[in-house]
Structure 1
Amino acid sequence: MSGSTLSTHVLDAALGRPAVGVEVVLSTLDGAELERGVTDDDGRLRLDAAAPLAPGAYRLRFATGPWFAAQQRTTLFPLVELAFEVAPDQPHHHLALLLSPFAYTTYRGS
Protein backbone atom coordinates (compact mmCIF):
# COMPACT_ATOMS: atom_id res chain seq x y z
CA MET A 1 0.00 0.00 0.00
CA SER A 2 1.31 3.45 -0.85
CA GLY A 3 -0.47 5.29 1.96
CA SER A 4 -2.72 5.11 4.97
CA THR A 5 -6.40 5.57 5.69
CA LEU A 6 -7.49 7.65 8.68
CA SER A 7 -10.39 7.61 11.10
CA THR A 8 -11.26 9.36 14.34
CA HIS A 9 -13.65 8.78 17.22
CA VAL A 10 -14.73 11.56 19.59
CA LEU A 11 -16.26 10.67 22.94
CA ASP A 12 -17.85 13.05 25.42
CA ALA A 13 -16.08 11.81 28.53
CA ALA A 14 -18.08 14.09 30.84
CA LEU A 15 -21.42 12.60 29.78
CA GLY A 16 -20.20 9.14 28.80
CA ARG A 17 -21.48 9.13 25.23
CA PRO A 18 -20.35 9.71 21.65
CA ALA A 19 -19.73 13.32 20.62
CA VAL A 20 -22.17 13.61 17.71
CA GLY A 21 -21.77 16.45 15.22
CA VAL A 22 -18.21 17.63 15.92
CA GLU A 23 -16.68 19.21 12.82
CA VAL A 24 -13.23 17.82 12.02
CA VAL A 25 -10.74 19.17 9.48
CA LEU A 26 -7.78 17.22 8.14
CA SER A 27 -4.91 19.36 6.89
CA THR A 28 -1.21 19.40 6.25
CA LEU A 29 0.93 21.02 8.94
CA ASP A 30 1.22 24.16 6.81
CA GLY A 31 -2.59 24.49 6.87
CA ALA A 32 -3.62 23.18 3.45
CA GLU A 33 -7.05 21.63 4.00
CA LEU A 34 -7.41 18.10 2.67
CA GLU A 35 -10.84 17.11 3.93
CA ARG A 36 -13.53 18.01 6.44
CA GLY A 37 -16.46 16.18 7.94
CA VAL A 38 -18.71 15.80 10.97
CA THR A 39 -18.77 12.96 13.48
CA ASP A 40 -21.69 10.55 13.08
CA ASP A 41 -24.17 9.18 15.65
CA ASP A 42 -21.40 7.03 17.12
CA GLY A 43 -18.93 9.95 17.29
CA ARG A 44 -16.91 8.50 14.40
CA LEU A 45 -15.58 9.95 11.16
CA ARG A 46 -13.55 8.36 8.40
CA LEU A 47 -11.21 10.73 6.57
CA ASP A 48 -9.80 9.19 3.42
CA ALA A 49 -8.95 12.46 1.64
CA ALA A 50 -10.00 10.92 -1.70
CA ALA A 51 -6.83 8.80 -1.59
CA PRO A 52 -4.66 7.17 1.07
CA LEU A 53 -2.45 9.60 2.99
CA ALA A 54 1.20 9.59 2.05
CA PRO A 55 3.72 9.19 4.86
CA GLY A 56 4.33 12.50 6.61
CA ALA A 57 2.92 14.95 9.13
CA TYR A 58 -0.72 16.04 9.27
CA ARG A 59 -3.15 17.80 11.59
CA LEU A 60 -6.69 17.11 12.75
CA ARG A 61 -8.63 20.13 14.02
CA PHE A 62 -11.75 19.49 16.10
CA ALA A 63 -14.23 22.40 16.39
CA THR A 64 -14.98 21.79 20.06
CA GLY A 65 -16.08 25.35 20.92
CA PRO A 66 -19.05 25.44 18.52
CA TRP A 67 -19.96 21.88 19.50
CA PHE A 68 -20.12 22.71 23.22
CA ALA A 69 -21.92 26.02 22.51
CA ALA A 70 -24.63 24.19 20.55
CA GLN A 71 -25.31 22.19 23.73
CA GLN A 72 -25.29 25.33 25.89
CA ARG A 73 -22.15 24.12 27.65
CA THR A 74 -18.99 26.15 28.21
CA THR A 75 -15.51 24.89 27.47
CA LEU A 76 -11.94 26.02 27.96
CA PHE A 77 -11.00 24.72 24.50
CA PRO A 78 -12.51 26.45 21.44
CA LEU A 79 -10.69 23.88 19.32
CA VAL A 80 -8.42 20.90 19.71
CA GLU A 81 -5.60 20.33 17.23
CA LEU A 82 -3.70 17.08 16.98
CA ALA A 83 -0.53 16.93 14.92
CA PHE A 84 0.43 13.40 13.98
CA GLU A 85 2.76 11.42 11.77
CA VAL A 86 1.59 8.90 9.19
CA ALA A 87 4.01 6.00 9.21
CA PRO A 88 4.83 4.35 5.87
CA ASP A 89 4.30 0.82 7.18
CA GLN A 90 0.81 1.34 8.68
CA PRO A 91 -2.22 0.88 6.40
CA HIS A 92 -4.62 2.59 8.84
CA HIS A 93 -4.36 5.26 11.54
CA HIS A 94 -7.13 5.80 14.10
CA LEU A 95 -6.98 8.79 16.46
CA ALA A 96 -9.45 8.95 19.32
CA LEU A 97 -10.32 12.09 21.30
CA LEU A 98 -11.82 11.86 24.79
CA LEU A 99 -13.36 15.24 25.42
CA SER A 100 -14.77 17.11 28.41
CA PRO A 101 -15.33 20.85 28.88
CA PHE A 102 -12.05 21.40 30.73
CA ALA A 103 -9.80 18.51 29.68
CA TYR A 104 -9.10 16.21 26.79
CA THR A 105 -6.88 13.27 26.00
CA THR A 106 -6.08 11.43 22.84
CA TYR A 107 -4.60 8.13 21.81
CA ARG A 108 -3.95 6.01 18.77
CA GLY A 109 -6.55 3.29 18.53
CA SER A 110 -7.01 0.45 16.10
Structure 2
Amino acid sequence: MPASLTTHVLDTATGRPAQGIAITLFRLTDKAREQVATARTNADGRTDAPILPEAPSGQYELIFHAGDYLRGLGQDADPLFLSEIPVRFGISEERHYHVPLLLSPYGYSTYRGS
Protein backbone atom coordinates (compact mmCIF):
# COMPACT_ATOMS: atom_id res chain seq x y z
CA MET A 1 0.00 0.00 0.00
CA PRO A 2 1.55 3.35 -1.00
CA ALA A 3 1.84 6.24 1.41
CA SER A 4 -0.93 8.84 1.54
CA LEU A 5 -0.90 12.41 2.82
CA THR A 6 -3.54 14.42 4.66
CA THR A 7 -3.45 17.73 6.50
CA HIS A 8 -5.63 20.07 8.49
CA VAL A 9 -5.34 23.53 10.06
CA LEU A 10 -6.42 24.41 13.59
CA ASP A 11 -6.54 28.05 14.70
CA THR A 12 -5.10 27.86 18.21
CA ALA A 13 -6.00 31.50 18.94
CA THR A 14 -9.72 30.84 18.49
CA GLY A 15 -9.75 27.12 19.29
CA ARG A 16 -11.52 26.39 15.99
CA PRO A 17 -10.75 24.79 12.66
CA ALA A 18 -9.31 27.25 10.11
CA GLN A 19 -11.69 27.27 7.14
CA GLY A 20 -10.79 28.50 3.65
CA ILE A 21 -7.00 28.27 3.75
CA ALA A 22 -5.47 27.47 0.37
CA ILE A 23 -2.75 24.82 0.43
CA THR A 24 -0.19 24.00 -2.25
CA LEU A 25 1.88 20.80 -2.20
CA PHE A 26 5.24 20.52 -3.96
CA ARG A 27 7.55 17.54 -4.48
CA LEU A 28 11.21 18.51 -4.13
CA THR A 29 14.14 16.99 -5.97
CA ASP A 30 17.74 18.07 -6.48
CA LYS A 31 16.74 19.73 -9.73
CA ALA A 32 13.15 20.86 -9.37
CA ARG A 33 10.25 21.93 -7.20
CA GLU A 34 7.16 20.40 -8.83
CA GLN A 35 3.65 21.37 -7.80
CA VAL A 36 1.65 18.17 -7.33
CA ALA A 37 -1.59 19.28 -5.63
CA THR A 38 -3.70 22.15 -4.36
CA ALA A 39 -6.56 22.15 -1.89
CA ARG A 40 -8.55 24.40 0.43
CA THR A 41 -9.60 23.69 3.99
CA ASN A 42 -13.29 23.06 4.64
CA ALA A 43 -15.42 24.01 7.69
CA ASP A 44 -13.62 21.30 9.68
CA GLY A 45 -10.19 22.76 8.79
CA ARG A 46 -9.45 19.69 6.66
CA THR A 47 -9.23 19.08 2.95
CA ASP A 48 -12.20 17.21 1.46
CA ALA A 49 -9.92 14.37 0.34
CA PRO A 50 -6.29 13.40 0.97
CA ILE A 51 -4.09 16.08 -0.54
CA LEU A 52 -2.03 13.24 -2.02
CA PRO A 53 -3.78 9.83 -2.09
CA GLU A 54 -0.62 8.06 -3.30
CA ALA A 55 2.62 9.64 -2.15
CA PRO A 56 5.91 8.26 -3.42
CA SER A 57 8.82 8.51 -1.00
CA GLY A 58 10.75 11.76 -1.21
CA GLN A 59 10.91 15.32 0.01
CA TYR A 60 7.78 17.49 0.02
CA GLU A 61 6.74 21.01 0.90
CA LEU A 62 3.28 22.15 1.97
CA ILE A 63 2.61 25.88 1.63
CA PHE A 64 -0.27 27.10 3.78
CA HIS A 65 -1.53 30.40 2.33
CA ALA A 66 -2.79 31.83 5.63
CA GLY A 67 -2.76 35.56 4.83
CA ASP A 68 -6.37 35.94 3.66
CA TYR A 69 -7.60 33.85 6.60
CA LEU A 70 -5.70 35.98 9.13
CA ARG A 71 -6.87 39.22 7.51
CA GLY A 72 -10.43 37.90 7.80
CA LEU A 73 -9.88 37.66 11.57
CA GLY A 74 -8.91 41.32 11.73
CA GLN A 75 -5.16 41.22 11.23
CA ASP A 76 -4.33 44.41 9.34
CA ALA A 77 -0.53 44.70 9.49
CA ASP A 78 1.15 45.29 6.15
CA PRO A 79 2.89 42.98 5.71
CA LEU A 80 1.38 40.35 7.96
CA PHE A 81 3.75 38.58 10.31
CA LEU A 82 2.62 35.25 8.77
CA SER A 83 1.24 35.03 5.26
CA GLU A 84 2.64 31.91 3.60
CA ILE A 85 3.81 29.11 5.86
CA PRO A 86 6.12 26.48 4.32
CA VAL A 87 6.45 23.06 5.93
CA ARG A 88 9.10 20.72 4.47
CA PHE A 89 9.09 17.04 5.34
CA GLY A 90 10.10 13.65 4.01
CA ILE A 91 8.05 10.57 3.21
CA SER A 92 10.10 7.41 3.63
CA GLU A 93 7.60 4.72 4.57
CA GLU A 94 4.60 3.25 2.80
CA ARG A 95 2.22 4.47 5.51
CA HIS A 96 -0.24 7.25 6.03
CA TYR A 97 1.28 10.66 6.76
CA HIS A 98 -0.72 13.44 8.40
CA VAL A 99 0.92 16.88 8.61
CA PRO A 100 -1.32 19.33 10.49
CA LEU A 101 -0.72 23.02 11.08
CA LEU A 102 -1.53 24.67 14.41
CA LEU A 103 -1.85 28.35 13.56
CA SER A 104 -2.10 31.67 15.40
CA PRO A 105 -1.46 35.19 14.07
CA TYR A 106 2.14 35.22 15.37
CA GLY A 107 3.20 31.59 15.44
CA TYR A 108 2.62 28.06 14.22
CA SER A 109 3.68 24.50 14.84
CA THR A 110 3.37 21.19 13.08
CA TYR A 111 4.05 17.52 13.73
CA ARG A 112 3.59 14.13 12.12
CA GLY A 113 0.16 12.98 13.12
CA SER A 114 -1.71 9.77 12.51
Answer yes or no: same fold by TM over 0.5. yes
**Partner residue, 1:39:** 41
* Alignment coverage as a number of residue pairs: 106
**Partner residue, 2:15:** 16
Deviations 1:53-102 (A, max 9, x none): 111101100001122123332441111100010113x3210011100000
Cα drift, residue 6 of structure 1: 0.5
Mind listing any 5+ residue stretches in structure 1 that lack a counterpart?
Answer: none
For the aligned residue pairs, the C-alpha RMSD in angstroms reads 1.4
Normalising by the residue count of structure 1, what TM-score does the alignment of the two structures yield?
0.88
Mind listing any 5+ residue stretches in structure 2 that lack a counterpart?
Answer: none
**Partner residue, 1:100:** 104
**Partner residue, 1:83:** 88
> Which SS does the other structure have where 2:71 is aligned?
helix
Normalising by the residue count of structure 2, what TM-score does the alignment of the two structures yield?
0.85
Cα drift, residue 15 of structure 1: 0.4
Identity of aligned residues (%): 36
